[in-house]
Structure 1
Amino acid sequence: MSRIYFPPAASRNVVAAGRNVAASRNVVATLVFLAITGSAHAEGTVAAARPEIQGTGLETQNKAIVRSAFETWRTGGNIFAELLSPDVVWTIHGSSPVAGTYRGLKDFTERGSSPLTSRLSTPILPEVHTIVADGDTVIIRFDGSATTTSGAPYRNQFVWIFKMKDGSVVKAEAFLDLAAYQRVVDNNEPRAQ
């Protein structure tokens, strides 16, 4: 059986390419795990797994915009008018009556968010677990809690995926427990306007 000879430089390039592919796979797997679990340990793992990979200016900027918006929301501010583009396309995934695609900020707030928020006596208080940016995409995993108009607690877990352009969200996808959302809508009277 004959052997194939690789010059030393070619051998080093093949080995280096194999390491880069393996490292990329590890980073992707870690980011997916982080987005799903929001684990603080996983966040440290991402940093340790890819110290040579730094976020681009766009990623850093988009992540900072979203983080600042969620901090404003947490202190009682309304972030949607400032963060979302007026022509945002917002999709709520799932199979409940609220699931679907909303076109424009007004459509989303009136048909997508208002059925829930009108039945809450307090604003939803977000607790952010993870914000990950990749190019023009920002993924946020957070929990939200509020009190309904009947005095019952409302708690939900969310993953929002934003596509950003010029500092605004132009496309959003939302994943949440739609059964918890629907229970609030079905069992609570809307606030008086």
Structure 2
Amino acid sequence: MTLQRCHHIARASRTALIALGLLSLAVPGAAFANTAATQATDSAAIEQRNKAIVEAAFEKWRGGTYVFAELLAPDVVWTIHGSGPVAGTYLNQKDFIEQASRPLTSRLATPIAPEVHNIFADGDTVIIRFDGTATTTSGAPYRNQFVWILKMKDGLVANAEAFLDLVAYQQVVDNNAPRSQ
């Protein structure tokens, strides 16, 4: 074998080794790209599902159906931001309904009718901005604006943050007699 032929074989071997090295680097990258694409697809599906669950619940609510029992996880953590007697964090569905929702709804002659302005979904979080209107037990109108940030888990609200006009809420509670049960 000639020296020139040996150099040619050595150069070809080096080229083959470099190509194998680059190939081994590229394959894990391709696997990572496929994993990232799959995760993005899963995330989009989760967003769509969660948004659809909240939209359907608000449609039922707008039609007069009480939806909280089916929308909230039993151990939901619900925080009402702001200041006032109802502001705070409730550690389960029962406490939220008994201590935050019922003091208001028991003083309304009609259910709150939500008018949804926007619903946004990002991963397991759904943000909804809506207005709510009702008539109080004394016949006065109740109007409020809400932003809820809902963290979903397994199709239920596991964690919620609520922003609303707490003065309007408290005026209804303070100035209206509860309905007889």
Q: TM-score, normalised by structure 1?
A: 0.72
The equivalent residue for 1:44 is none
How many residues matched? 141
- 1:71 lines up with 2:59 in the alignment: yes
The equivalent residue for 2:126 is 138
Unaligned 5+ runs, structure 2: 1-39
The equivalent residue for 2:27 is none
State the alpha-carbon separation in 1 of the partners of residues 82 and 103 from structure 2.
16
The equivalent residue for 1:183 is 171
The equivalent residue for 2:117 is 129
- Structure whose CA Rg is larger: 2
RMSD over aligned CA atoms reads: 1.2
- Residue type of the alignment partner of 1:75: G
Q: Per the alignment, in what secondary structure is the counterpart of residue 172 of structure 2?
A: helix
- Residue type of the alignment partner of 2:65: G
- Residue type of the alignment partner of 1:114: R
The alpha carbon displacement at 1:67 in A equals 0.2
Over 3 Å off, 4+ runs: none
More helix by share: 2
For 2:106, which of 102, 106, 118 is the aligned residue? Answer: 118
State the alpha-carbon separation in 2 of the partners of residues 90 and 114 from structure 1.
14
- The aligned runs of 1:9-28 (5 Å cut-off) are none
Unaligned 5+ runs, structure 1: 1-52
- Residue type of the alignment partner of 1:174: A
Q: TM-score, normalised by structure 2?
A: 0.76
State the alpha-carbon separation in 1 of the partners of residues 165 and 96 from structure 2.
18
State the alpha-carbon separation in 1 of the partners of residues 134 and 66 from structure 2.
15
The equivalent residue for 2:180 is 192
- 1:166 lines up with 2:158 in the alignment: no
State the alpha-carbon separation in 2 of the partners of residues 192 and 171 from structure 1.
31
For 2:92, which of 96, 104, 110 is the aligned residue? Answer: 104
The alpha carbon displacement at 1:98 in A equals 0.3
State the alpha-carbon separation in 1 of the partners of residues 107 and 84 from structure 2.
17
Q: Per the alignment, in what secondary structure is the counterpart of residue 77 of structure 2?
A: strand
